[in-house]
Structure 1
Amino acid sequence: RVGTCKIWDTASGEELQSLEGHRNVVYAIAFNNPYGDKVATGSFDKTCKLWSVETGKCFHTFWGHMAEIVCLAFNPQSTLVATGSMDTLAKLWDVQTGEEVATLSGHSAEIISLAFNTAGDRLVTGSFDRTVSLWDVPTGSCVHTLIGHRGEISSVQFNWDCSLIVTGSMDRTCRVWDAPAGKCVFTFSDHEDEVLDVCFDCTGQLIATASADGTARVYSAATNQCIAKLQGHEGEISKVCFNPQGSRVLTASVDKTARLWDVRSGECVQVLGGHTDEIFSCAFNYEGDAIITGSKDNTCRIWR
C-alpha cells in the first residue's frame, strides 16, 4: 500500500513491522545507526515520522514542511533528524520531543540531498538551485554557500574527518570542496552525462561517482586521479556506495542489475540479476557481508 514502510529481518526474510500512517508515497527512510532502534520516514504527504523499530509505534509526526520531503538523515548522536523538502527548506527536529529545532532557509529550489558530518555540528545540503550550503547545526546559520556547479545538485557527502565535501551534479561533474574554507579544490569532469550519485569510502580517501552515461568511476581524494572506470551496465547508474572495508563498490542501474566491483582493478566481481525493473537503491549492511537492493518491481532483495 502507498504510504507504508516495512522493517524486515534480513537473516530470515521475515517482515517484522509494517509502519502505516503516511498519506502518500514514503520517499526517504533512515535508521538511526549505529543504534538501530528508530526509523525516520519522509513522505510526499509533507511529513516525516519517527518510529520504534521494536514495536512499530510512531513516536512523532514532524509537521511543518509545505511540500514533499525527499531526503532525510539522523545526526550521528541520534538526537536530531534533518529533513529536506521540495519547499526549498531543510528542517532540524528533536528526536526526543518531536519539536522543530531549526529551519534552514536560503536555497531557492528543492533540497534533494543532505548529510551530517561525523561530529554532528555541520549539515550539508544540495539543491536544484545548483548550490550547496554548509550549515552550523547548533545555531542553524549558513556557514558557506558552495557555488560553481552549472547544473542541479544530485548528491552531497562529507568525508570521515569532515575536511572535504563531495558533490555530484547534472552538469556532468563531481566537485571536491574544502569544507572549512568553503572553496572548490578539484573538479572531476570525465563523465559524458549527468552525475547522479557520489560518495566517499569510510576512510575518506576514495570517491566514487555514478552517472547517467552508464559508468561509475573511482578517484583518489589525495591525488585526484581516476583509479578505476567501472564499465558494464547497460543503462544509467543511479546509486553507488563502498563496502565498509573500502575494497568493493556497489552500483544500481536502470538495466535491472546491481553490480559489485573491485576498487583497485575496476573489474566487475558480480552481477546481481533477478529484479524485473530498474534498481534505484542499494546498500551494504554494517558488516559488509550482505547487500540490499530496492527496485521499481516493488521488491527488495537481500544478497549474501
Structure 2
Amino acid sequence: MPLKRFLLRYFPPGIILEYYDEQGLLGTKTVDLLDLSESTDVEAVADQIIHEVSDLITQSKKSQLVRLLRKLIEKQEMGNADASFYLFKRLKAHILPLTNCAFNKAGDRFITGSYDRTCKVWETQSGRELLTLEGHKNVVYCLAFNNPYGDKIITGSFDKTCKVWNSYTGELYHTLRGHTAEIVCLSFNPQSTIIATGAMDNTARLWDVETGMELCALIGHTGEVVSLSFNTTGDRIVTGSFDFTCKIWNVETGQCLQSLEEHHAEISCALFNFTGNLVASSSIDRSCKLWDVDTGRCVHTLKGHNDEILHCSFNMTGSLLATASSDSTIRVYNVYNGECVAVLVGHEGDVSKLQFNPQGTRLISASTDRTCRVWSIEPAACLQILEGHTDEIFSCAFNYEGDVIITASKDNTCRIWKSAHCTSLPNTE
C-alpha cells in the first residue's frame, strides 16, 4: 500500500499515515505516541514504528520519520516554558452571568453561554462579537463546538431543548426536543455525527447531527444525568448521575454495557481517558474512582479531599487525573498506580472547573474566590493568579496550543488571557 504522506497530531502526540489501499482509496492509520518525551530515543522509536507498519513505511523514510518525532517532542516541551499570562481583552459579554465557555480547535473563536438565554461567538484576536445565537427560552447552560471541525455549535438549555447552529452564519439547523426537564450536559461525538444530551429528567439522549432526529434514549438512571462523555472512537458513551452511579452505553444500540455503582453520593463528573480503557468518576462523596471499561471493575479509589469533588479532568494522554473540590484544593493523581502526585493549595473558595494544558504540564482552575489560577504539576506550585473578575468564575479553558486562556464569570464578563510567549495570536497591542 503506497504511503501518501505523514500528518502530525500534536496533542496527544501521534503520527497519522495517509495511504492508498488496493482499490486506490485513501485510508489512514494512526500511531499513538503517548509516552513521547525529551528523553525518548527517537531512533529506536522510528525503528519500532517502521517494524509495526512495514507495509506502509520503509527504512528509506526513517530520516523523515525521525525529524517528525523530534518536532513532536519540541511541541510537547513548549508546555514547560516559564510563561506568564497577561490580560489581553476584557469583554462585557452578556447582560446576565455567564455559565460556560469553549474554544474551537483552531483557537481563533470561542463561545460563551449565559443566563440571558443566548450564546455568543467571539473572535479571539480582536475580542469582537461575531454572532449572538438567540432562540432559547431559558438559561443556556452548556455548549460545545464540533471540534476538530468547528463548523457547528450545540447549546443546551433549561428550556429542555438543545439547538444546533452553523458556527459561521448563526443559522439554526435543528431544535432537539424530547427531554422533559432541563438539559445540563451535552457533547458531540469525535466524528461529529452524533450529539448526546443529558438532563434532569434522568435520561440521556442521542441525536443525528444531520437530521436532528432522536436516535435513542439512554434510560436506566434513577437520578438526574449531569455528566456525559464519548470515548475517542465514538462507539461508547459514559453518563454520570445523581443516583450515585455511572453507566457505560453502546452508542449504536443504546444498550447499557456497565453500571458503575460504588459511589455513596451524587456523581459530579464522568469521562473516558484518551485510549478509552478507563472511566473516571468524581463524586460528592469526596472520592474519585477509576474504572476498567471492559469489566466495570473499580481499579483505583482516589482519596484525600475532605469535601465534595466538583470536577475532574484527564490530561491529553490520560496518564494524569486532576480533581477539583469544595475544600479549595486540587489533587493530581497518577492514573496507573492511583498515587497522588500533587496537591495544589491556594484557592479560597470552591474549585468548580479545571483543565490541563495540551502538553499536560500546566493546569488552570476556576473558583468561587473570583480567581483563575495557573499551576505547575511538577513541582506542585501556583505559577500565577489571574485576578480581576468581581464575582465567581464558572468556567475556564485553554486553547489548543495552551498559550491563551478564557475565563467566564458570574460578573457578566469574559476575559482573554494571553501568554507572553503566545504564537497562536499575533501581538497587535
Which TM-score applies when normalising by structure 2?
A: 0.70
Pairs within 5 Å for 1:250-265: 250-265=364-379
Deviation string for 1:115-151 (max 9, x for gaps)? 0000000000000000000000010110000000001
Give the secondary structure class of the aligned counterpart of 2:234: coil
Question: Is 2:150 the counterpart of 1:28?
Answer: no
Deviation string for 1:214-265 (max 9, x for gaps)? 0001111112111110000001100111011101011100000000100111
Match of 2:238 among 124, 130, 133: 124
Question: Is 2:227 the counterpart of 1:113?
Answer: yes
Q: Which amino acid aligns with 1:41?
A: T
What is the alpha-carbon distance in structure 1 between the residues aligned to residue 292 and residue 279 of structure 2? 7
Match of 1:163 among 260, 274, 277: 277
User: For this pair of structures, how many residues does the alignment match?
Assistant: 304
Identity within the alignment, %:
59
Question: Is 2:289 the counterpart of 1:175?
Answer: yes
What is the alpha-carbon distance in structure 1 between the residues aligned to residue 149 and residue 415 of structure 2? 23
Pairs within 5 Å for 1:58-97: 58-97=172-211
What is the alpha-carbon distance in structure 1 between the residues aligned to residue 380 and residue 183 of structure 2? 36
1:282 counterpart residue number: 396
Question: Is 2:128 the counterpart of 1:7?
Answer: no
What is the alpha-carbon distance in structure 1 between the residues aligned to residue 164 and residue 403 of structure 2? 28
2:385 counterpart residue number: 271
What is the alpha-carbon distance in structure 1 between the residues aligned to residue 337 and residue 267 of structure 2? 24
Q: Which amino acid aligns with 2:212?
A: G
Question: Is 2:358 the counterpart of 1:231?
Answer: no
The higher-RCO structure (CA 8 Å, 6+ apart) is 2
What is the alpha-carbon distance in structure 1 between the residues aligned to residue 165 and residue 378 of structure 2? 40
Q: Kindly indicate which of the two structures has a greater share of residues assigned to strand.
A: 1
What is the alpha-carbon distance in structure 1 between the residues aligned to residue 339 and residue 303 of structure 2? 12
Question: Is 2:338 the counterpart of 1:221?
Answer: no
Question: Is 2:313 the counterpart of 1:199?
Answer: yes
Q: Which amino acid aligns with 1:246?
A: G
Q: Which amino acid aligns with 2:259?
A: T
What is the alpha-carbon distance in structure 1 between the residues aligned to residue 156 and residue 279 of structure 2? 24
Question: Is 2:158 the counterpart of 1:44?
Answer: yes
Q: Which amino acid aligns with 1:16?
A: L
Give the secondary structure class of the aligned counterpart of 1:154: strand
Give the secondary structure class of the aligned counterpart of 1:134: strand
Q: Which has the larger radius of gyration?
A: 2
| Structure 1 residue 295 displacement after superposition | 0.7
Stretches of structure 2 that go unaligned for 5 or more consecutive residues are 1-94, 96-115, 419-429
What is the alpha-carbon distance in structure 1 between the residues aligned to residue 277 and residue 256 of structure 2? 17
Which TM-score applies when normalising by structure 1?
A: 0.99
What is the alpha-carbon distance in structure 2 between the residues aligned to residue 29 and residue 240 of structure 1? 17
Moved over 2 A (4+): none
| Structure 1 residue 289 displacement after superposition | 1.0
Q: Kindly indicate which of the two structures has a greater share of residues assigned to helix.
A: 2
293-302 vs 39-48, which moves further: 293-302
Q: Which amino acid aligns with 1:256?
A: R
Match of 2:356 among 239, 242, 245: 242
Match of 1:53 among 167, 175, 192: 167
Question: Is 2:402 the counterpart of 1:295?
Answer: no
Q: Which amino acid aligns with 1:75?
A: N
Q: Which amino acid aligns with 2:236?
A: R
What is the alpha-carbon distance in structure 2 between the residues aligned to residue 289 and residue 35 of structure 1? 20
| Structure 1 residue 286 displacement after superposition | 1.4
Give the secondary structure class of the aligned counterpart of 2:262: coil
What is the alpha-carbon distance in structure 2 between the residues aligned to residue 141 and residue 204 of structure 1? 26
What is the alpha-carbon distance in structure 1 between the residues aligned to residue 158 and residue 334 of structure 2? 37
1:103 counterpart residue number: 217
Q: CA RMSD in A?
A: 0.7
Deviation string for 1:60-96 (max 9, x for gaps)? 0000000000000000000011000000010001000
What is the alpha-carbon distance in structure 2 between the residues aligned to residue 136 and residue 149 of structure 1? 22
| Structure 1 residue 280 displacement after superposition | 1.1
What is the alpha-carbon distance in structure 2 between the residues aligned to residue 292 and residue 139 of structure 1? 37
Question: Is 2:272 the counterpart of 1:145?
Answer: no
What is the alpha-carbon distance in structure 1 between the residues aligned to residue 289 and residue 336 of structure 2? 14
Q: Which amino acid aligns with 2:180?
A: M
Q: Which amino acid aligns with 2:364?
A: L
Deviation string for 1:180-207 (max 9, x for gaps)? 1111011011000000001110100000
